[in-house]
Amino acid sequence: MHFSRQKFGVLNFVAKLALALVCVLLCLASLAAKCTASRTVQDQLGRTVTVPDHPHRIICLMPSVTDAVFALGAADDVVAVSDYSKYPAAAASKPSVGSLLDPSLETIVSLHPDLAIGSSDFNRLKGVDQIEKFGIPVFMVRSGGIEGIYQSLLAIGDALNRQDAAQVLVSKLRERVHAVQVRVSDKPKVRVFMLVWPEPVTTIGKHAFITEVIAAAGGESITDDDSDDWPVISFESLVTLAPEHLLLVHDGRVFFNDLAKRPGWNILPAIKNRSVYYTDDRLYSPSPIAIDALEDLAKEFHPETDAPPHNDNH
């Protein structure tokens, strides 16, 4: 009898243990289901993409995308970025998957991302297709002026399920751009020639993102009537344009003193008068960091304008 009661107690304990284990497994299954839950969104190329409800292993395939994702508060969810991702500074601590045009597929797959975000500016659709063959969703954005920054932020916010954060960020950026435009509205436009590269002479055209930023900052590109985004012009055409002011990228690969030494360049009014304005490589990024560059450029063009500092990261 004693043996039977002991045996019954053991069996009762085992039954309770088994029941508890089943409960734990059910809970884990429920959590797993929540983690793998997905939804369908449309990216800016019109592609239908199935993304996780809350992506937590994101790869940014463009520097501008990196800046946008960080600005939306998802820095901790980023597992890798592309080469040249220097904004914000914290992005430098993330591993790189390689170049913009040809990222390492092996590296991407090894990181087990649940979402990759790219841009049609550089990321080729052929590469996107290769990534997606491994079951990794790729959400694509496209640039298109200052308004394009806002729209890509809203699109990425949708992909990350951070719609509220995207709305707040876009609202702040709009306010900052508008504030600059108001401050410079009664100032004479500073007409500049932005030199991207001296040989062949490469500049910016009507539809270039930088052209719009220059205008918003109180300037005017003297090549804003060129239909090409990045027009290449002859030196003779540059002489005809006779730029009174140059716009150069500070710490870039084009230096004023080097230009002044180039044969024939000393006949340009901007060279003769040593009239040059400087910006930096933030101007090349269609992302929140470009608004910082816009504000600084407005101070370059119109130092007399009193711009109050902003207290957010972007």
Residue range 154-174, pLDDT digits in tens: 999 999 999 999 999 999 999
Q: Each residue of 80-94: pLDDT tens digit? A: 999 999 999 999 999
Interval 5-61: pLDDT, tens: 555 454 455 455 554 453 444 344 334 434 457 999 999 999 999 999 999 999 999
**Dist. CA 66–CA 314, nearest whole Å:** 13
Q: What is the mean pLDDT of residues 145-155?
A: 96
How many Cβ atoms are within 10 Å of 260's Cβ, its own excluded? 14
How far is the C-alpha of 41 from the C-alpha of 20, rounded, in Å?
39
In the chain, alpha helices (H): 2-36, 63-71, 105-110, 125-132, 145-159, 163-184, 209-216, 235-241, 256-261, 269-272, 289-301
Q: List every span in the chain annotated with CATH 3.40.50.1980.
A: 38-161, 188-301
What are the pLDDT digits (tens) for 183-230? 999 999 999 999 999 999 999 999 999 999 999 999 999 999 999 999
Domain made up of 38-161: CATH architecture? 3-Layer(aba) Sandwich (3.40)
β-sheet with 276-279: strand ranges across:
219-221, 190-194, 246-249, 276-279
**How does pLDDT run across 114-142, given as a tens digit for each residue?**
999 999 988 888 889 999 999 999 999 99
> pLDDT at position 4, please?
53
Q: Judge whether residue 152 has pLDDT over 90.
A: yes
Diameter over CA atoms, the chain: 114
What is the fold, at CATH topology level, of the domain defined by 188-301?
Rossmann fold (3.40.50)
Q: Strands 58-60, 78-80: parallel, antiparallel or unpaired by DSSP?
A: parallel
- Supply the pLDDT for residue 308: 54
3-state secondary structure of 278: strand
Query: What was the pLDDT predicted at 312?
Result: 53
- Asked if residue 88 has a cis previous peptide bond (ω within 30° of 0), the answer is yes
Name the burial class of residue 194, with classes exposed (0-12), middle (13-18) and buried (19+) by CB atoms within 10 angstroms of its CB.
buried
Q: Rounded distance, CA 120 to CA 117, Å?
A: 10
Its sign, for the CA torsion 142, 144, 149, 151, is negative
